[in-house]
Amino acid sequence: MTVSPKPIAELKNKIKFVLSDLDDTITTEGHIPSESYSALWKLKDSDIKTIIVTGRPAGWCEMMARTWPIDGVIGENGAFFFRYTNKHMRRFFASSPELIETNTAKLDIIKNEILQTIPESKISSDQFCRMFDLAVDICEDIPPLSKEQTATIISIFEKHGAQAKLSSIHVNGWFGTYDKLTTAKFILTNEFGLTEEQIQTSCVYAGDSPNDEPLFSYFENGVGVRNIEPYLPILKSKPKYITQHAAGKGFQELTEKIIQLSR
């Protein structure tokens, strides 16, 4: 029997850590609305730690870790974690930087095959900021590709032995065994000292698309913002909770509930 997500109003635990996807979870139509950025500051002022977990590139993550009111960023779908604290940027890499050149050459072969097979596709405009993965635009700066075209892109990555994950805007592919979840668990345990029980009782994960599914499966307090609804039929592991609002307003809604529970 399929279990539908519960309303966010039923979230009960006192939350100390918020892990959140970026695109279409904190952002709305590609922008960070005032309610989302304000929500990040409210979490900080309430002594609730926030970690962004995104497929976006190292260049973006460096900027976010340094300038946003957050406690770190997991980027390129788990390839690294950046945390700026006491005027020092701490960096953890899940994959050896020494492999970048080798893997980039292999990803270039995949890139060429994708562009030849799906001429309507395009490499993400932020690719020049990336260290470890290849991001294929499926709707951000181009007309949306079909489900069949997107599936073909994923199959090309996998044929070459790469991982591939679908977000709301890209297909991201990389070589390595890490993903958003493996790095999130490592960071919560080794950087912040949480036990498995503390992770399940005091952490929330918020997301909006299929590449968040491993985290929905793992986190007891997994939350989908409303715009995840079109993906629910294909998710084997659904979020336990869902917001009334979509994207940035949904993130604001979740934040207000978490701060209410912390009082």
Task: List phi, psi (to 5°) of 9.
Answer: -60, -20
Q: Are residues 84 and 186 in the same domain?
A: yes
Tokens of 97: 């930087």
Q: Are residues 89 and 113 in the same domain?
A: no
Return d(Cα 217, Cα 184) in angstroms, integer. Answer: 13
Q: What is the pLDDT of residues 220-261, one digit of tens each?
A: 999 999 999 999 999 999 999 999 999 999 999 999 999 999
| Inter-residue contact 92 to 80 (CB < 8 Å) | yes
Q: Are residues 35 and 66 in the same domain?
A: yes
| Inter-residue contact 75 to 56 (CB < 8 Å) | yes
| Inter-residue contact 245 to 33 (CB < 8 Å) | no
- Domain assignment present for residue 1? The answer is no
- Domain assignment present for residue 159? The answer is yes
Is the pLDDT at 130 greater than 90, yes or no? yes
| Inter-residue contact 82 to 65 (CB < 8 Å) | yes
pLDDT the model gives residue 4: 85
- Domain assignment present for residue 110? The answer is yes
Q: How many domains does the chain have?
A: 2
β-partners of residue 172 are 135, 165
Q: What is the mean pLDDT of residues 206-222?
A: 95
Return d(Cα 230, Cα 226) in angstroms, integer. Answer: 9
Q: What is the pLDDT of residues 1-11, one digit of tens each?
A: 457 899 999 99
pTM of the model: 0.94
pLDDT the model gives residue 263: 79
Pair type for strands 73-75 and 80-85: antiparallel
